[in-house]
Amino acid sequence: MNINDEQARYAQDIVYEAMECVCEDGEKAAKLCHKALSIDLDCVDAILMLSDLESETAEEHIASAQKAVAAGIRGLGEDFFEEAVGNFWGIIETRPFMRAMADLAESYLMLGKKGHSTAIQLYEEMLKLNPNDNQGIRYLLISCYFNTKRYADAGKLLDKYDDDVSALFLWSRVLYDYITSGKAEAEKSLEQAEYYNPHVLKYLIDRKRLPSDSPVSYAAGEESEAQCCAEILKPSWRLHPKAKKWLKEYEAGKS
């Protein structure tokens, strides 16, 4: 990887400028991205941003994200992947590539069930490259495991990050325990999940509707975290109606 390439650095600076203005002026952002690509054809973030701005279908987005991932691999160099595996994201120059991987996986999820397998493979590879998971990939991966009924993999992921007390992982543990061990075990997990964030329950059983726009940020234990958690996990609970019914009965018994 040539991290001293001045042209690549200049192109990346232009993309950072595009990132700052994209919400207010998408046209200007697109022009900046094209300018960056005229300097560095492998500017990963420029390819990704143009994909968001110009792609109209999931298939177009996938093609652009694949192009960005390929550019990231070329930029880093294949040998670098062997040398830096386990430390990605901590090395700043890997971040555009990791963003491209996440974008590609999300694009496959847009295809519905037929895209889940590929998305899972991409997420698993990202966690191999960066076990610290600064991007929160494990939260998306756990829902993919539930949605494809890969419960053994879900259990392994929960165990791998067993010190994670986020609402999403705690409520994932509740669902996992119900599916694999039954009500008694799930009730123990439910007690812990409710202790850390009691707001999640009403969203999962449709007692409360999610806002149209996701929170920009969230605080642990607060309503904002519950909304972010439920947005990802609701489909998983919906696919397991017996578990959802049990939650409803539990909530009714509290009244």
Over residues 111-136, the pLDDT tens digits come to 988 899 999 999 999 999 999 999 99
Residue type (1 letter), 198: P
Residue 112: predicted pLDDT? 87
Count CB atoms within 10 A of the CB of residue 38.
12
Contact in structure between 71 and 42 (CB atoms under 8 Å): yes
Closest CA to 234 of 114, 107, 143, 106: 143
> Could you tell me the maximum CA-CA distance found in the chain, to the nearest angstrom?
64
173-182 mean pLDDT = 97
Residue type (1 letter), 6: E
75-84 mean pLDDT = 91
Measured distance CA(93)–CA(72) in Å, rounded? 10
Helix orientation angle between 44-54 and 6-21, rounded to the nearest 10 degrees: 30
Measured distance CA(104)–CA(110) in Å, rounded? 10
Closest CA to 58 of 17, 137, 114, 131: 114
CATH number, domain 1-104: 1.25.40
Q: How confident is the model at residue 1 (pLDDT cuts 50, 70, 90)?
A: very low
According to CATH, where is 1.25.40 located in the chain? Answer: 1-104
Q: How confident is the model at residue 255 (pLDDT cuts 50, 70, 90)?
A: low
Judged against a pLDDT cut of 80, whether residue 110 lies above it is answered with yes
